[in-house]
Chain A
């Protein structure tokens, strides 16, 4: 296996992991989901899901990455032979791993995600420039859908490629590649800016938002608990899904990042720290969003629930509309899209870094060639999302990657650790190297809770798609952008895992 550059400090590792976990979803998904599923009641469920499911899975990924010192495919491929009693069995140690494909599948899913995540960065890059003149004018909705995206009337009507977005996509990819140019060495420096800066900007928006008239009305919608939701399975589904989506688990990233830790590092305390930092960011993001929505609702003379949006609609339509009403609007426009970009970039480069580390481990690709190779392929695929039908495909692929790819990986990872490697073995190992210790509850979570939760989520998502096509898209589109992609990734993962390592 190739030797990777190690993190220069614990702070660099923690910041990089936090940067990977924190992304656009913390600002444009969490607050909306929180409001939709009972405000404070959702927060309660979220904390429980975080502690009982999210943190154990994150700790699992940190522990196997740190122990086996390799990317996701390498580490998962080796797991088989770390069973108690196998260490001395040289013959078995020489045999090929059986779970390497899970690692490749996780990385392919994260690669699938980064192809469109970079396109969203491309939109934000354009909007950063538009902010200087508030180019979206008095109708940000028409500007976004008709001018920026030139959204077509159907998923198979591709319309034209939007060249300004392609340019923004190229800029984003150059930024991503430069950020991981020398692996952990470069990332460890970049994250001091790309993690700290969006946090500072988020605080600016919280303070600005809370000082606007009507802000507290928005916050009321965000925080006031509606306890009846606690009995609603949809709330628990939303809380557990949000924990999975937000922590960057199941993508193979955290395994690779932990593998760059030098000897003598901690595992469990870092996992708790990263998870709480991610949750705190989402929580604070809610104040930035809801205070602004409270202000906007007051201007329109309506209620907050009428103006509540999530996802790209919130960032590229609702927020520019609100910015129009602020003093120093261009400044806040620039700061807002700079915040989005810096929130997104470390998630994006962590997804590339996870794959680059695997290619370096397995095929001994030179690092810079691996970085550029992944970027070029992802850029070319990304052009699909810059067409008039791009938003539809983005939405469809995003749904399948998150609801099938991620849950499958989480399920398989936890099953392998629980029933092949032994959850107690990994817990003892993690405890032996960590400042914090976890009790048997951790093993119980890995053995029962995580597999059960991911299995239920998977079945639920499957059922939903079978009942009616996701988003009302045609079944053919669903097969092409969803099922074929997931199955194709599974096949590629198997093929890659069967290929001989260059070292062998």
Chain B
């Protein structure tokens, strides 16, 4: 897979799973 594919993989994973993690952490803190 070209480097642009790997960058897409890293960014998309960060956005989707990072988004979920952020929401869960915010919920846990309140």
Verify A220–B19 contact, CB threshold 8 A: no
Is A10 at the interface (CB under 8 A from chain B)?
Answer: yes
Kindly report which residue of chain B lies nearest to residue A11, judged by CB atoms. Answer: B27
| Shortest distance between the CB of A483 and any CB in chain B (Å) | 38
From residue 1 to 30 of chain B, which have CB atoms closer than 8 A to chain A? 1-2, 4-5, 7-9, 12-13, 15-17, 19-20, 23-24, 26-27, 29-30
Decide: A224 near B12, CB < 8 A? Known: A276-B19, A436-B26. Answer: no
| Contact residues in B for A435 (Cβ distance below 8 Å) | 26-27, 29-30
| Shortest distance between the CB of A362 and any CB in chain B (Å) | 34
A-B contact pairs, 10 of them (CB 8 A): A39-B8, A40-B4, A40-B12, A220-B2, A220-B5, A224-B2, A266-B27, A266-B30, A435-B27, A436-B23
Interface residues in chain B, defined as those with a beta carbon under 8 Å from any beta carbon in chain A: 1-2, 4-5, 7-9, 12-13, 15-17, 19-20, 23-24, 26-27, 29-30
| Shortest distance between the CB of B6 and any CB in chain A (Å) | 8
The secondary structure that dominates the B interface is helix
- 4 extra A-B contacts, CB within 8 A, seeds A219-B1, A223-B12: A273-B27, A276-B19, A280-B17, A436-B26
| Shortest distance between the CB of A251 and any CB in chain B (Å) | 23
Verify B12–A273 contact, CB threshold 8 A: no
Verify B8–A225 contact, CB threshold 8 A: yes
- Interface size classification for chain A: 20 to 34
0/1 per residue, A201-231, Cβ < 8 Å to B? 0000000000000001001100111000000
| Shortest distance between the CB of A15 and any CB in chain B (Å) | 13
| Shortest distance between the CB of B2 and any CB in chain A (Å) | 6
| Contact residues in B for A473 (Cβ distance below 8 Å) | none
Kindly report which residue of chain B lies nearest to residue A276, judged by CB atoms. Answer: B19
0/1 per residue, A276-309, Cβ < 8 Å to B? 1101100100000000000000000000000000
Is A416 at the interface (CB under 8 A from chain B)?
Answer: no
